A = this chain, B = another copy of it.
Amino acid sequence: MSMDQMCVATYRCYDDKADFDKKALGIAVGLTVGSWTELPEARKAEMEKHLGKVVSVTVHESKTGAAGERYADIRIAYPEINFSRDIPALLVTVFGKLSMDGKIKLLDLDFSPNFVSAFPGPKFGIEGVRELLGVQDRPLLMSIFKSVIGHDLEGLREQFYRQALGGVDLIKDDEILFENPLTPLEKRVETCMEAARLAERETGQKLLYAVNLTGPTANLAANAKRAIAAGANALLFNVLAYGYDALHMLSSDPEINVPIAAHPALAGAFYPSPHYGIAAPLLLGKLMRLAGADLVLFPSPYGSVVMPKEENLAVQAALIDPALPVKASMPVPSAGIHPGLVPLILRDFGQQVVVNAGGGIHGHPQGTAAGGQAFRQAILAALEGTSLPEYASRPGNEALQAAIQLWGFKE
- Give A residues with C-beta under 8 Å from B: 31-35, 46-47, 49-50, 66, 81-84, 86-89, 91-93, 95-104, 106, 146-150, 174-176, 178-180, 214-218, 221, 238, 241-243, 245-246, 248-249, 263-270, 272-273, 275-278, 299, 304-307
Contacts and interface: CB of A to CB of B under 8 A. Distances in A.
Contacts of A147: 33-35
A98 B242 contact: no
6 closest residue pairs by CB, A with B? A34-B147, A99-B268, A96-B265, A100-B268, A88-B241, A50-B150
Contacts of A98: 268
A119 B100 CA distance: 28
B217 A92 contact: no
A35 B305 CA distance: 18
Which of A50, A92, A221 has the most B CB atoms < 10 Å from its CB? A92
Contacts of A100: 264, 267-268, 272, 299, 305, 307
Count of this chain's copies in the oligomeric assembly: 2
A290 B93 CA distance: 26
A238 B268 contact: no
A211 to B, nearest CB: 15
Nearest to A96: B265
A87 B217 CA distance: 10
Which of A31, A46, A216, A264 has the most B CB atoms < 10 Å from its CB? A216
Given A150-B50, A245-B242, A278 B273 contact: no
Contact of A97 (B246, B278, B305, B306): B305
B96 A249 contact: no
Contacts of A245: 216-217, 241-242
Contacts of A266: 91-92, 95-96, 99
Contacts of A34: 146-149, 174
A218 B221 contact: yes
Contacts of A304: 101
A82 B243 contact: no
Contacts of A83: 176, 178
A169 to B, nearest CB: 22
A96 to B, nearest CB: 3
Nearest to A244: B241
Contacts of A265: 91-92, 95-97, 99
